[in-house]
Structure 1
């Protein structure tokens, strides 16, 4: 078997990627289905078949990663890959295959966050931009929905509006016309810019710190716990302190072309790894406000391997 494709999406409800994986000896070529997914050729030391859980036990992320000789991720290919076909493909290519689908989700996430300098992810999905009329139509519907809501409430028919909203949301689920949500929740049209300004204000005050590109952000939660929030949900909480495994300091690292944030314990061991671009100025304000020691510096190859591969947990 010299060619392999995923048979389902990376998550339960996601689209199946159009990724194609071919081999010529130990050399792999990967093509996607998007202009951003340029064909990639690489010779990995091993393949890593993974699955890790998110918030709910049934909410898993599946995929295949190509690792270099140091165990760093060269390429991440989200999607569900048939185990038997993958084993045959790896055997034919002569590349060792690790089945990590039953390993601890924390361990899997730590491996996926340990990226090689040439790391990339090929999603295999073609972008489907909405039609040009979607946005103006949604705005008009939002205004009409707001007017209808105001009228019904002004004449004491709040229950009627709630009934219309419930029916509308049912229709949205059936028709999958998610952009029509603003008709039945018109407040979203006005709240979104307000929430964005509030988020930026909190960053300027040092209350939170956020990664570039809408990634996760850090905040200090109750009971002196450092919280990691992603997509509106708290995905991890780490108690501050000077004991093993507790958050004691922060390290904003740079290794070749890679950058990221490491939460360290008092012994300098990585408690949580968050790869990505974290603004140093914002990070400095956050660290000062919450009295967290912060280091910003370049790390060596050996330091990078030690910190990332031994991290207890990560947000890839």
Structure 2
């Protein structure tokens, strides 16, 4: 992610492509204190980023991507800010530090480029039998597979007729083109109906899961959610899904307006806005112990420093 830093009217302005400028105060109680350039080990390579911290060391904004240390350090020195270079030993250590949000925290999102080669899933022999637990999901998958094969068959037939027309123009393949035109209209209608059925079924299923207290969502970006499936607690983020061994939830709020959720015995910190009623229903429905706490600033700093992992 490329971004530009500037100072305008006692504010630190962070300009990010395809995102409104973020203005962070340089004066007042929750003002910018430090520019942090950090790195931590990722999958096969080191990941870098830039974080803006307040005077207590809490994160006001974080943006991934490698940046010039000299340029950031020079900018901080010119504007009376502290500069820090930190290399975290593990990804967990980095996530714990970046999840400690300041009252003036701002989220920065950006559009990721699409994959150059989309993955094509081909159904195997085992997918031909509907599972015992989720037949509705199986039928949706079969519908998607059928549409995929129809599109592939249409593409192969169209390419074959084009090649045949180029190699032997006098053979006359216009009848085939007419049939392909009719097939294209039918395929478009079937695809539209199938997509509407799949999307509608998925949305109804999501709403039903939330109503049944099987899914608990974090409000706003970056998105994550807790899902209860067959007495298992799963955490779903934009990057991965993993199982969590936990029997309690701690919903906290701080005097400054910061809030979040701690899963387990200080095992996982999920900062952000969580609906208290949804959290209460989710805990009661899935047999989880729930504690609601109102923290002071010192208690918040102590709690978020003791967790073992986090999702910023």
The match for 1:117 is 103
Distance 1:94 1:252 in 2: 37
Deviations along 1:65-102, one digit per CA (max 9) or x if unpaired, are: 12123221123344431233333434555544333355
Distance 1:232 1:198 in 2: 22
Q: Which moved more, 1:294-303 or 1:207-216?
A: 207-216
Answering whether residue 279 of structure 2 is matched by residue 283 of structure 1, we say: yes
The 5-angstrom pairing of residues 95-110 of structure 1 reads 95-110=81-96
Per the alignment, do residues 53 and 74 of structure 1 end up closer, same or farther by CA in structure 2, a change over 3 Å counting?
Answer: same
Distance 1:294 1:166 in 2: 57
Per the alignment, do residues 50 and 225 of structure 1 end up closer, same or farther by CA in structure 2, a change over 3 Å counting?
Answer: farther
The match for 2:259 is 259
Per the alignment, do residues 159 and 30 of structure 1 end up closer, same or farther by CA in structure 2, a change over 3 Å counting?
Answer: closer
The match for 1:220 is 228
**Deviation of 1:36 (Å):** 3.4
The match for 2:244 is 238
**Deviation of 1:53 (Å):** 6.7
Answering whether residue 217 of structure 2 is matched by residue 210 of structure 1, we say: yes
Per the alignment, do residues 296 and 32 of structure 1 end up closer, same or farther by CA in structure 2, a change over 3 Å counting?
Answer: same
Distance 2:11 2:205 in 1: 46
The match for 1:305 is 301
Q: Which moved more, 1:190-199 or 1:59-68?
A: 59-68
Deviations along 1:234-258, one digit per CA (max 9) or x if unpaired, are: 0x4222xxxxxxx232111111322
Distance 1:87 1:29 in 2: 15
Per the alignment, do residues 197 and 104 of structure 1 end up closer, same or farther by CA in structure 2, a change over 3 Å counting?
Answer: same
Deviations along 1:20-70, one digit per CA (max 9) or x if unpaired, are: 21369xx7622425673254332533222234577xx15876431121232
Per the alignment, do residues 232 and 78 of structure 1 end up closer, same or farther by CA in structure 2, a change over 3 Å counting?
Answer: closer
Distance 2:62 2:215 in 1: 29
Answering whether residue 6 of structure 2 is matched by residue 22 of structure 1, we say: yes
The match for 2:205 is 198
Distance 1:162 1:20 in 2: 45
2:219 and 2:272 in contact (8 A); partners too: yes
The match for 1:130 is none
Distance 1:311 1:165 in 2: 53
The match for 2:160 is none
The 5-angstrom pairing of residues 46-57 of structure 1 reads 46-51=34-39, 57=43
Q: TM-score, normalised by structure 1?
A: 0.63
1:32 and 1:122 in contact (8 A); partners too: no
Per the alignment, do residues 203 and 105 of structure 1 end up closer, same or farther by CA in structure 2, a change over 3 Å counting?
Answer: same
Answering whether residue 21 of structure 2 is matched by residue 37 of structure 1, we say: yes
Q: C-alpha root-mean-square deviation of aligned residues, in Å?
A: 3.7
The 5-angstrom pairing of residues 83-98 of structure 1 reads 83-93=69-79, 95-98=81-84
Per the alignment, do residues 165 and 195 of structure 1 end up closer, same or farther by CA in structure 2, a change over 3 Å counting?
Answer: farther
The match for 1:162 is 152
- Name the count of aligned residue pairs: 240
Structure 2 spans left out of the alignment, 5+ residues: 112-142, 158-186
Per the alignment, do residues 99 and 28 of structure 1 end up closer, same or farther by CA in structure 2, a change over 3 Å counting?
Answer: farther
